[in-house]
Amino acid sequence: MTSSHPADAPGRVRRRKTSQLGDKIFFNAARGAGILLLVIMAAIAGFLAYRSALALSKNQGNFLTTFEWAPDAPKPVFGIAVLAFGTIVSAVIAMVIAVPVAIGIALFISHYAPRKIAQPFAYLVDLLAAVPSIVYGLWGALFLVPHLDGLTSWMDQYLGWTYVFDQTRAGTTPRTLFTVGILLAIMVLPIITAVTREVFRQVPRMHEEAALALGATRWEMIRTSVLPFGRPGIISASMLGLGRALGETIAVAVVLSSNSVLSLHLLDPGGGTFAQNIALKFNEAGSFGRDALMASGLVLFVITLLVNGAARMIVARRKEYSGANA
Amino acid sequence: MAKRIDVSGLSAYYGTTKAIEDISMTVEPRSVTAFIGPSGCGKSTFLRTLNRMHEVIPGARVEGKVMLDDDNLYGANVDPVAVRRTVGMVFQRPNPFPTMSIYDNVAAGLKLAGVKKKSVLDDVVEKSLKGANLWKEVHTRLNKPGAGLSGGQQQRLCIARAIAVEPQVLLMDEPCSALDPISTLAVEDLIGELKSQFTIVIVTHNMQQAARVSDRTAFFNLAGVGQPGKLVELDDTQRIFSNPSVQATEDYISGRFG
């Protein structure tokens, strides 16, 4: 529609039209992407809900409290108690270990290490995030499991009174939820570190100087300026990591020796997680068994949504104290 | 409570760049000394050497001596953290801790120094906020975030925070440059009141402000771009603005450059 007129007044008008067109294209592309996201989410939820409903209608046991997973038996019985417990416990162990370590590494990179060391170090951490999870799984099974005996028997000896760290079957290989937790911690460490590091880097210089000028040491400065400012970022980063820990499949499947026992003795082998259970059973399952696995997937989906919602509420509750309105 | 500052042969560097060269001056206790000069002349850098804040910038260093009464701030065994507890600072842009309430902002310095007793903290917070002419405006909402105050109130909050730890010296780096005229007036009045207790050094771009608030004025200048800044002269404010002894000072204050 544009002709080869020289750039005069009408030309200027045409240019503005193009930019309006650009605005429109961009607006619609952005809106389309947003809508697409919602549609995909709804489609996943709808698909899972439909297949789950099929399975649940024929379940002879209580879906929430049953321990065993036998959907393809003549009298189908399956429940998520063990899976939910194992998923949450291993993810919690992972977060307890990973979050403090990740914050430490992030602070080291952003505030302690000289720039020459910080850059390659940060790169190294990012690289860890790119390692495929099956590699972590193999490392966990071939290295971590055989080498964790010392730690678990030490914990049994000195922390056994806590019940959770009591080994009732000493001498078994530690293919336990505890080991899975450690492995997951290592796996989620890079993502949490990378995000918190960026947040710590963005703490305004003037807030750090405010603390220093009051006579704060470097650690006190970090405590009064950097950590409070980075708090929402730390929570978001942890949620990203938690999401990965809750959904991790293959590494858990390789390491954990699963059974349908729900035990608070975390150092005893056994238990299971949602994703690991799906990966393990999917190939051998009949079509009804697959629907049952979908139902467990839906529960994982809901748990993840709840956790994210809770995290958002924590961040929003202290919004007026966030660094954003400084 | 106020101490005399005696600077001799002080130079400051950013990496290999010399920012200020060979500055010597005396700042009298219980008085307001203003630093004026064109941008880049090193007056803020010099101010930051007086509480060892200059060296928090990577690669920055200082040569020379700063005596606070009988103590050399750059002595071999001096902890910069201890120096900053004695020499307080207020910055160009109000920087209350955004994650803290008004109360916690004022109490922050004391808490860092290990004061935990609620009654002591309460007293100091009230006294400091009163000292910063802010008590009346905020005493009903001490638990609200400090970042919710107006710019001028935030700056007075920062002053309250600085004086809460009872420093010997108060450094102010263009404390009014981000404020409107009414808030500026409030801060200037406050400076006039605070000088009975503290030694105050203020960097300002506003020559009228220097003339209004200070007893002594130091004029800094640089020979050219990339050259280190130097102290041209330090004299009674009245003399600097009426009859300075150096031609460059007169040119600057009469608006012929800068």
- Residue A171 CA to chain centroid, in angstroms? 32
Q: Do B158 and A210 touch (CB under 8 A)?
A: yes
CA distance B101 to B67: 36
pLDDT at B126: 95
Is any Cβ of chain A less than 8 angstroms from the Cβ of B112?
yes
pLDDT confidence bin for B20, thresholds 50/70/90: very high
The count of other CB atoms within 10 Å of the CB of residue A222 is 22
Q: Which residue in chain B is spatially nearest to A112 when comparing CA positions?
A: B58
pLDDT at A16: 60
pLDDT at B53: 94
Is any Cβ of chain A less than 8 angstroms from the Cβ of B89?
yes
CA distance A136 to A187: 7
Q: What is the pLDDT along chain A (326 residues), one digit of tens a residue?
A: 444 454 455 555 555 666 788 899 999 999 999 999 999 999 988 999 999 999 999 888 889 898 989 888 888 899 999 999 999 999 999 999 999 999 999 999 999 998 899 999 999 998 988 899 999 999 999 999 989 888 888 888 898 888 888 888 777 788 899 999 999 999 999 999 999 999 999 999 999 999 999 999 999 999 999 999 899 899 989 998 999 999 999 999 999 988 888 888 888 888 899 999 999 999 988 889 999 999 999 999 899 889 888 888 887 876 666 554 44
Is any Cβ of chain B less than 8 angstroms from the Cβ of A323?
yes
Write out pLDDT tens, residues B223-241.
888 889 999 999 999 999 9
- Number of domains, chain B: 1
* Domain contains B174: yes
* Domain contains B134: no
* Domain contains B176: yes
pLDDT at A191: 93
pLDDT at B184: 92
Shortest alpha-carbon distance between residue B238 and chain A (Å): 31
Shortest alpha-carbon distance between residue B233 and chain A (Å): 28
| B241 token code pair | 């603005």
Which residue type is seen at A138? L
- Cβ atoms of B54 and B62 closer than 8 Å: yes
pLDDT confidence bin for B178, thresholds 50/70/90: confident
* Domain contains B137: no
Classify B232 as helix, strand or coil.
strand
Judge whether residue B132 has pLDDT over 80: yes
Q: Do A211 and B97 touch (CB under 8 A)?
A: yes
Measured CA to CA in angstroms, residue A109 lies from A28, A113, A120 at distances of: 40, 6, 10
Q: Which residues fall within 8 angstroms of residue B256, CB to CB, at 6 or more apart?
A: none
Measured CA to CA in angstroms, residue A263 lies from A258, A268, A269 at distances of: 12, 8, 9
Q: Which residue in chain A is spatially nearest to B87 when comparing CA positions?
A: A213
ipTM given for this complex? 0.90
Q: Which residues fall within 8 angstroms of residue A217, CB to CB, at 6 or more apart?
A: B81
Domain residue ranges of chain A, discontinuous segments joined by +: 1-57, 69-325
Query: Which of A223, A321, A325 should one mutate to test binding to chain B, selecting the residue with the greatest count of B CBs within 10 A?
Result: A321
pLDDT at A73: 86
Q: Which residues fall within 8 angstroms of residue A98, CB to CB, at 6 or more apart?
A: A184, A185, A186, A188, A189, A192, A241
Beta pairing partners, B25: B7
Shortest alpha-carbon distance between residue B199 and chain A (Å): 16
* Domain contains B138: no
pLDDT at A34: 96
Query: Which of A112, A201, A214 should one mutate to test binding to chain B, selecting the residue with the greatest count of B CBs within 10 A?
Result: A214
- Cβ atoms of A58 and A42 closer than 8 Å: no
* Domain contains B145: no
| A299 token code pair | 């529960």
pTM recorded for the entire structure: 0.84
Is any Cβ of chain B less than 8 angstroms from the Cβ of A326?
yes
CA distance A232 to A27: 29
Nearest in space to A259 (alpha carbons), one of A157, A142, A177, A173: A177
Write out pLDDT tens, residues B49-84.
999 999 999 889 999 999 999 999 999 899 999 999
- Cβ atoms of B201 and B171 closer than 8 Å: yes
CATH number reported for the structural domain that contains residue B66 in this entry: 3.40.50.300
Q: Which residues fall within 8 angstroms of residue B7, CB to CB, at 6 or more apart?
A: B23, B24, B25, B26, B27, B50, B64, B65, B66, B67
Residue with tokens 């009014």: B176
Q: What is the mean pLDDT of residues B101-116?
A: 93
Closest partner residue to B95 (CB to CB) among A210, A217, A228 is A210
Query: How would you classify the pairing of strands B17-27 and A69-70?
Result: unpaired
- Cβ atoms of A177 and A89 closer than 8 Å: yes
Is any Cβ of chain B less than 8 angstroms from the Cβ of A243?
no
Nearest in space to A98 (alpha carbons), one of A36, A166, A31, A191: A191
Contacts of B99 in chain A (CB under 8 A): 228-229, 231, 318, 321-323
Q: Which residues fall within 8 angstroms of residue A61, CB to CB, at 6 or more apart?
A: A68, A77, A78, A79
Contacts of A206 in chain B (CB under 8 A): 91, 93, 95
Contacts of A322 in chain B (CB under 8 A): 98-99
Write out pLDDT tens, residues B210-224.
999 999 999 999 888
Classify B231 as helix, strand or coil.
strand
Region A69-325: CATH code: 1.10.3720.10
